């Protein structure tokens, strides 16, 4: 079931780099000190399917 609510503790990574973050209690995250550009972002947490968003 989808609720469209944020999920805490999701691991967010920029594919091909060592940059990443974890979501806060509201499902928000911030990754700083990256160069402007287009990236592929991967989100994962135990118990859920890994999600890959390309061209962000």
pLDDT at 2 > cutoff 80: no
Comparing CA positions, the residue from 19, 17, 18, 12 lying closest to residue 41 is 12
CATH homologous superfamily for the domain 1-56:
Carboxypeptidase-like, regulatory domain (2.60.40.1120)
pLDDT digits (tens, 9 = 90+) for 3-36: 888 999 999 999 999 999 999 999 999 999 999 9
Distances (CA, A) of 23 to 9, 12, 30: 5, 7, 8
pLDDT at 1 > cutoff 70: no
pLDDT digits (tens, 9 = 90+) for 32-50: 999 999 999 999 999 999 9
Query: Going along 1-56, which residue ranges are E strands?
Result: 11-14, 20-22, 41-44, 51-53
The whole-model pTM stands at 0.85
- Cβ-Cβ contacts under 8 Å for 16 (sequence gap 6 or more): 40
**What 8-state DSSP symbol labels residue 47?**
T
């Amino acid at each position: 079931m989808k609720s469209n609510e944020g999920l805490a503790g999701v691991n967010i990574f920029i594919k091909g780099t060592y940059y990443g973050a974890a979501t806060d209690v509201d499902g928000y995250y911030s990754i700083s000190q990256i160069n402007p550009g287009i990236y592929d972002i991967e989100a994962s947490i135990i118990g859920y399917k890994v999600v890959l968003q390309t061209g962000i």
